[in-house]
Structure 1
Amino acid sequence: MSNRAKLFGALSLGACLLWFRAAAEVPPETVGQVAELPPMAGAHWLWVPDRLFRHSILFDGDSGRMLGAIDSGVQITPKPPLWSHARKEIYNVDTIYSRGHRGERKDFVVIYDSRTLNVKGEVEVPPRAADTGTGIALVGLLDGDRFLVVLNQSPGTSVSVIDLENRRHVGEAQTAGCAGVFPAGPTRFGMLCGDGTALTVHLTENGELDRLARSKPFFDVIDDPVTEKGVRDGSTWWFASFEGLLYEVDFSGNAPAPKEPWPLFTENEIESGWRIGGAQHLAYHRKTKRLYSIVHEGGPGSHKDPGTEIWVYDVPSRNKIDTFSAPNLIAPFLGPQAGFDATGMLGSFLSFVLPNMGVHSLTVTQDERPLLFVRHSDLGAVGVLDALSGEHLRDIDEAGLSGALLVVP
């Protein structure tokens, strides 16, 4: 059964459940309350952007409780909110048009107070911020929280640099043929290029372009390109290729220094059809050096398909050390709509009989008791797993309708 057929079946079941839902008294909602977030973001907090509602919701992964939300513009997918703990600010890149969906375009870096989520300022940037279905690698907050970088495409690529300390647009670095922004220091970030190379963009202390330095070609853009869904540890980034090779690129020097890749799959696993897949398919826990990868069984061209398994690797030894099962998120998605408890008997029954559609995206917290968050891009629920054991702890329901991105502040 195709993923589209599975989704149609789940939505049809949801419609039937709504039709037969018994009337129930809904407790009145208390309105007019104003709350503030704690001074520091929680270790298990999570942003869930939604491309239909055009906002990003902040959840507590321990309780599943919604903490707040910020709006986004008319882009395809809200870009990841960037949280400066030093400045106690949150930054979001928005696009607006003077006539709704047409007219003069303007792009802004909107600045939110991280405790009240009130807008406290904005910086106008060139009106050509890039837009994709996932929103990954389009914006980045450089180390030290002074400079924010925004990928532009119209159709050539460039990067806008914003000085957050002085709230001004510093300038635009021309980066023809390269895309994605991967922070690697206070005044340095990396990019991937269409000729199989990587690029390091060096800035001055004031945020102006200092120099560009390019690596030698290290991947085949035709036979086995890498995806932009990289994961980071300091100035080192890892990128997976469509065929399952993991590339390590060190951006700490003048030019990027890629290392020889290593395979995520054995020959037997490749013959069985195992492949990487999804939208945000990699996550990395820095302290344990564990890499999490969404995998599925499919053929060439299936790199966007969701996966029902998450394979765990120890990066230093280059070995697979565990396999997690992705939770079935259909019941948590349908439960609030149809008025049943997804953790009760009906929810458990539906999770057992309905096909598991898998997950498109995952991310992991960076504390000593990390949580692994997963989502399917067309189901408004987020699964919460113990990142060390793979135990399915809970689900966060009513997390939106559609979107692939997950962001840990």
Structure 2
Amino acid sequence: MIDDRGVLEPWLDRDRKSSIRHPMPVDRAMIEAGPVVRRGRHGKRADAPRRMALGEAHLRLRALVVATLSGSAAALLAAVLFEATASQAVEIDPGGQVAMMPPVGPHWVFVPDRLLQTSFIFDGDSAEMLGAIASPGLLVAKLPPVARTRNEIYSVDVDYDRGVRGKRTDYVTIYDARSLDVVAYVDLPDPVSESNTSQHHVALLDGERFLIAFSQFPDGVGVVVDLEARAVVARAPIAGCAGVYATGPRSFATLCGDGTTVQVGLTEEGQVASAERSAGFFDVVADPVSMAGVRSGSTWHYVSFRGDVHSVDYASAKPVATGPWSLVSAAEKEGGWRPGGLQPHTLHVATNRLFVLMHEGEPGSHKDASPEIWVFDVEAGSRLDRFEVPNLGVEFLGPMFGLAPDSFGRTVLGWLVPNEGAHAIVVSQDAEPLLFTRSHDYGVVGVLDADTGEHLRTIGQAGFAGPTLGVP
């Protein structure tokens, strides 16, 4: 509760001797901040909570944490809280204004949020939020492709005519990348597929004319959208396969349930011209590959649950698989080291460096968070470096308690909150790359120097929960 003095009184059990009774000062401006303008499906203004409005939820969580601790843990946390500084004044932007986005930058990062059904856009250099794209009706927002030639962003969305039920409409929303205004819609004839991460369910082909949307039901197709004509032009049958991966201006690939991959070729107008299947290259039962493939030119690299890297060349109509090579030595494999996470690997194309989230686990732990990032030279098939994932739990909770990054209180919090690692990573593709890390459980994104692994900064208040990250 916030009293007349602008003080948040924690919800404590007054009968418990270990209750902490210190009121928590808050900046009332954070709680009373007005709405920010967003654009919805019909191009109308819609009031949505401002980023700083998350402060109220954070303060409530702060009070709840204090209220539930007891004994020595409560005493230690009390000492930490005494060190916390008073809330800083927050500059409030005038309401009812729509700012223009800067040009698409190399250090932009998309942060989809499962609960808010929104993809936030942040600047990795300043850690500031630039904008947000709503993705209603989805289990998790699909990473939106960006077309630099037309300065557009594409979001594959779902609507129901009775809220969360009724007739379903699947469509592509086309945004102006500067204003984030909706400029067009393209309705899809098939329901788009969804999964826990929805990775590679949408692909923007080279040349940026055609977009492919993966639909698994009722019969499995890749829906071909001509973005210049703003129309669906074909349905490419890919039954028994999953995911869509761009391989050229008029071709895409998909992974299949028999351990093969199929490449679909299109005509100049986007009609299906060919479909060629590779030989089998992975065992879907003994050691399946993750759908989180990474691309370098005509080659896609797929990493298996055990840590084998399978490379497939799509330069010719029929895909050709090579390898595999292993991320782990015999001793590391014996020790249980394996990839883990929901988006566990990313590739810096110019230097051919593969970054992989790694953990010690048992078979079936391939979705678990990982505390380390291993760096590999793909061409040599050898490891170059090992980075530690920053403690994202501390990065999330520290600001709630007003603890400065280098303070003793932040150190104490690190003793109390174990480093559970990250679920997702993605690297920017410029000459000075940033490596972004994320835990599904915390609304922050760690920003690392991709060359050294140094933790440069943290993007705070990045939603609540989500499994993926994306760069343009």
Whether TM-score is above 0.5 comes out as: yes
1:235 aligns with 2:288: no
1:96 is paired with a residue whose SS is strand
> Whole-Å Cα distance in 2 between the matches of residues 18 and 336 of structure 1?
18
Alignment of 1:219-298 (within 5 A): 219-298=282-361
Secondary structure of 2:187 counterpart = strand
Query: What is the distance in 2 between the residues matched to 1:180 and 1:318?
Result: 26
Corresponding residue of 1:6: none
Contact 1:147 1:162 in 2 (8 A): yes
Paired with 1:363 and 1:147, the residues of 2 have a C-alpha distance of 24
Q: Kindly report the root-mean-square deviation, in angstroms, between the aligned alpha carbons of the 2 structures.
A: 1.9
1:112 aligned residue: 175
Aligned partner of 1:216 in structure 2 is 279
- Please say which structure displays the higher CA radius of gyration: 2
Aligned residue for 2:354, secondary structure, equals: strand
Q: Does 1:189 align with 2:259?
A: no
Match of 1:357 in 2: 420
Aligned counterparts of 2:62 and 2:418: Cα–Cα separation in 1 = 12
Instruction: Judge conservation of contact 1:374–1:383 (CA < 8 Å) in 2.
Output: yes
Contact 1:56 1:72 in 2 (8 A): yes
Partner secondary structure for residue 261 of structure 1: strand
Matches within 5 A, 1:112-131: 112-131=175-194
Change in CA separation of 1:27 and 1:216 when aligned onto 2, cut-off 3 Å: closer
Which residue is equivalent to 1:36? 100
C-alpha displacement at 1:13, in angstroms?
7.2
Letter in 1 for 2:228: E
Structure 1 residue 403, shift from structure 2 partner:
0.4
C-alpha deviations, 1:122-177, integer Å up to 9, x for none? 10012410001112010010000000000001143111000000100112111111
Are 1:299 and 2:362 counterparts? Answer: yes
User: Separation in 1 of the partners of 2:88 and 2:375?
Assistant: 45
CA contact (8 A) 1:18 1:337 kept: no
Contact 1:92 1:109 in 2 (8 A): yes
When residues 18 and 55 of structure 1 are mapped into structure 2, their CA distance, relative to the original with a 3 A threshold, is: farther
Structure 1 residues 344 and 122 mapped into 2: Cα distance closer, same or farther (>3 Å)?
farther
Return 130-139 or 148-157, whichever deviates more. Answer: 148-157
Paired AA for residue 227 in structure 1: S
Matched AA of 1:137: H
State yes or no: 1:144 paired with 2:207.
yes
Q: Which residue of 2 aligns with 1:15?
A: 64
Structure 1 contact 326–359 (Cα < 8 Å) conserved: yes
Return the alpha-carbon distance in structure 2 between the equivalents of residues 319 and 383 of structure 1. 26
Structure 1 contact 18–338 (Cα < 8 Å) conserved: no
| 1:178 equivalent among 217, 232, 241 | 241
Task: Measure how far apart 1:28 and its partner are.
Answer: 5.6
Question: Matched residue of 1:104: which SS?
Answer: strand
**Residue type matched to 2:100 in 1?**
E
- TM-fit CA distance, 1:272: 0.7
Q: Which residue matches 2:460? A: 397
Deviation at 1:211, TM superposition (A): 1.1
- What residue is the counterpart of 1:7 in the other structure? none
Contact (CA 8 Å) 1:14, 1:338: kept in 2 or not?
no
1:24 offset after TM fit, Å?
4.8
Instruction: Please tell me whether the aligned partners of residues 371 and 419 of structure 2 are also in contact (alpha carbons under 8 angstroms).
Output: yes
Partners in 2 of 1:268 and 1:65 — Cα distance?
43
* CA deviation vs aligned residue, 1:68-104 (integer Å, no higher than 9, x gap): 1110021100011111111000000001101111100
Segments of structure 1 that go 5 or more residues without pairing to the other structure are: 1-10
| Equivalent residues of 2:448, 2:454 under 8 A apart | yes
Does structure 1 residue 48 correspond to structure 2 residue 97? no
Residue number in structure 2 paired with 1:203: 266
CA gap 1:17/1:118 in 2 versus in 1, 3 angstroms: farther
